[in-house]
Structures are given as C-alpha cells and as structure tokens.
Amino acid sequence: MKPISRRTMLRNTGAVLSLPFFESLFPARLASASTAGKPPLRLGIFTVTGGTVLESWKPAEAGPLTKLPSILRPLEFAKDDITVVSGLSHAGRSDNLNAHEHCAMLHLTGASSAKKEGGKLFADISVDQAAAKVLGKETLLPSMEIGLAGGEKNYSFRSRDVLVPYEGNPRLIFDRMFRGRTPVVPNWKRRAESASSNQVKSPENVSLERSVLDLVLGQANDLRRNLGKTDQQKLDQYLDSVRSVEKRTAFLESRQQQDFWEITRPTDHDPARHADYIRLMADMMVLAFQTDTTRVVTLAAGSDDCMFPGVVTVGYERHCHTLEHQGNASRPEEADPIAREACRQIHAWYTLLFAETVRKMKDIDEGGSSLLDNTVLLYTSYMSDGGHGRDEYPVVLAGKAGGALKTGRHLAFPKKAPMANLYVEILNLLGVPTKSFGDSQTSRVAGSLNGRLPGLI
C-alpha cells in the first residue's frame, strides 16, 4: 500500500492548502511500521523588546514551578508545560555598533563578536537558521521570519554575513503560506520600486478578493467524508482558523488605509491595535506549524517606539523607550520605581499575548499529543533589560520537544552562563546534532559548563 504523505493538501489553481495531522489517514498498521505519521518537531521563537524586570520575572527558587512571578502569571494554566531558565547571558564583543544593534546581533546567534563594516553586518549563524538547515528540508518553506524586526533589530543570520530579512506585512505572509505551488520569496527590489512610484493597487496574484478557502472548499468537503468524527472536528477547527486569519488580514489592511506595500504594524499608540497585530502574526505561526508549511518560525513582537496607555496604569504617559531607560539602572534600587513598574506592566502584557499562543497550541491535537507537545517555543527578548543589559536574559521554553524536554520547573544557572549553550541544547532537542554554537565553548565566562546546560534535557 502506498504510504500517505503527512502533508495532505487541498489544491486548486492559485491556492494550495496544507492540512493538519489526521489520525484517520494513518492506520495503525502503517504507523507502527514507520514514523511517517508521527508529528514533527518544531522550533518557534517569540521574541519581544525591552528585556524584563528581573525581580518580577525570575521565580524565587529553582526546582518545580510553584508560584509564578507576576510577569509570568498569565502562564499559570500552562505551568506544567513550561521551563523557566535563568542566569543566561551574552558576552560577545561589538565593533562599530550601537547598543541596540549589539544586543540584536548577539540575540539569536550567541556570536563571540559582531560588527558593521562597509555598511554590512557580520555576526554568526542564528539558532533558527541552524535549525532550518535540517528541519527545512522536509517542508514547503525552510523557515519563516515574521513581525517587527529590521532597522537596529537584526536577529537572524543565514551565515556570518548573510542577514535574513523579516516580513511584517500580514498579507504577504499569508500569501506566501497559502497561495501558489512554490514558496514565494519577497522581491524587495520590486517592493521598493512600487513604493517609490506610489503604486497603491496590489498585484492580481496576491489579492484577497477570492478566499483561499473558497478555492478549495469542494475538495475539503470530499475529504470530510473520509475522516472520522474527531478528525472532522479537527478539519473544521483548522478551516475556521484559516478563515479567521484571512479575514483579520484583510481587516487590518482596510483599517490602515495605506499603500499595500507599507501594511505592517499599527503606527499609533493604541495597545489594542498592537495586540491585534501580534495575535495575527502568532496565529500565522501556529497555522504554519499545524499544516507543516514550515517547522521553524521566528516572530519578532513588540516595539520600543510607542506608548502603552491602559497597559501602563502608573505615572504619566511616557514613551516606552524612555520608560525602559528610566526603569533600568545598573542596580534596581537606583531605578525610577514608577518607570520600573510601568515596564513590569508592559512585560506582563507581552506574556499575556504569548500565553494566548501557548493555549492555542496546547489545544491542537496531533494524534494523542498536542502541537505544543511537539514544539520548542522560546519566549525571550533581544536584551535582558531596557538598559541594554546582556546578563540574566528572560527565557521561557514552552512545549516538550516530543517528550524530550522535562517541563514544570525552573532551572537556575550561574550568572553569565552563555545563552549560546541554550541554543546547543535546543538544536539537539530538535534532532540537529550540535557540539558547539556561537561562543558556547569559547566565551570568557563559559566556566565549567562545557558548552551545555546540565539538567535541561
């Protein structure tokens, strides 16, 4: 009997829609003979700006997670599905970079050095791209980099001198995932030319006037007849999710009322609109994992250049970047206490949005395990605090990496343990054999850890 492809698809001219894992399509006699029906492992990175407020993020004791600190409290429902890791730092040097660029370029690379030379950036391969080199061989898209990175925030590198751009336009991300039969690589030159010529009308092949679901609905109904009741419910849940993302993408586009090429995040100071954008990006990540469109997604969320009225309820309105600096002195007791509390509120708000994503992944069944169970979902920031700190990064791992990662605990490592060691562990959890990464073996503060984080796996 010919084995069934894991990535069953609905196809129509102009659209291809990958489907989630259906038990009905993988009889036990086939599954026992191979791993063809086993859900794959994924890497998700949900990274925010501004670091954290350490005393409100770090659990009081190492060991089993009992009471979560206030910033992590939105994750209480998933306490048994997360691992909190503390003590990690970046020690890489910089040359000709400002503080934000320095933090950003070390963020996912753990590089021993980063620099700007002749207008070009140099760091090292980032953990997402190292994972994509292996995991990406099996999927339509090797990886997705979405959200608000760029400018000073350059996180992902394919190699020492090849920067990976992030896509912030929801429509382009949606179309890259669901339209056409091959991956669509953004044409940055054409986008620049279109913007300079004030082209407002979008190209025909990326129009949302015809729903992806409308194109494939007939095939979906045919498939439904071959599914068990549980898988029929799963199909309905998935199609509803696609429709929701598609409609919200179109809504965001209409609400912004600006050039098609410039549709990215909201530019005002309304936290609700920023939250809508982050939720939409996160839902696209979940759909990409659910359909095995890609197994590696990095989502850059948050912004330093806005205010948070309603989220911040103390003091007077201040720009987020101002709050980060005023609320983060070299010693907490020297910081502006009102600004520090404002930062705490902002980071609890980010955690709430992250927790919504965790809940969605936890609720998606993949044949006896959840999407979250089969994922390593890293929640962190590109700096450790709003003062450009690079010690004691906030790190939460959600998910169990297919059962290889023991959760429900806080692992506390000596201060200045290399963040790159975490990336070594993550890559090995994902089945990417790795002995060293970045400065995991060479950092001047590597100590006796030997490039690893004992006890994590």
CATH code of the domain containing 382? 3.40.720
Note whether residue 419 is domain-resident.
Answer: yes
Cα distance between residue 144 and residue 129, in whole Å? 10
Note whether residue 47 is domain-resident.
Answer: yes
pTM of the model: 0.80
**What pLDDT score does 316 carry?**
75
Q: Among 68, 99, 94, 100, which Cα is nearest to 82's?
A: 68
Note whether residue 396 is domain-resident.
Answer: yes
Note whether residue 375 is domain-resident.
Answer: yes
DSSP state of 436: -
> How many structural domains are present in the chain?
1
**What pLDDT score does 366 carry?**
87
Cα distance between residue 190 and residue 184, in whole Å? 13
- Residues 342, 306 contacting (CB under 8 angstroms): no
Q: Which amino acid is at 46?
A: F
Note whether residue 215 is domain-resident.
Answer: no
Note whether residue 32 is domain-resident.
Answer: no
Note whether residue 414 is domain-resident.
Answer: yes
Q: Count Cβ atoms below 10 Å from residue 56 Cβ, excluding itself.
A: 18
**What pLDDT score does 84 carry?**
99
Look up the domain containing 393 and give its range. Answer: 42-168+264-429
Distances (CA, A) of 106 to 44, 120, 123, 340, 390: 18, 15, 7, 25, 9
Q: Count Cβ atoms below 10 Å from residue 310 Cβ, excluding itself.
A: 12
**What pLDDT score does 431 carry?**
97
Q: Show the low-confidence residues of the chain (pLDDT under 50).
A: 1-7, 12-14, 27-35, 181-189, 191-192, 199-210, 215, 258-263
At 430, give phi and psi (nearest 5°): -85, 5
**What pLDDT score does 193 carry?**
54
Note whether residue 59 is domain-resident.
Answer: yes
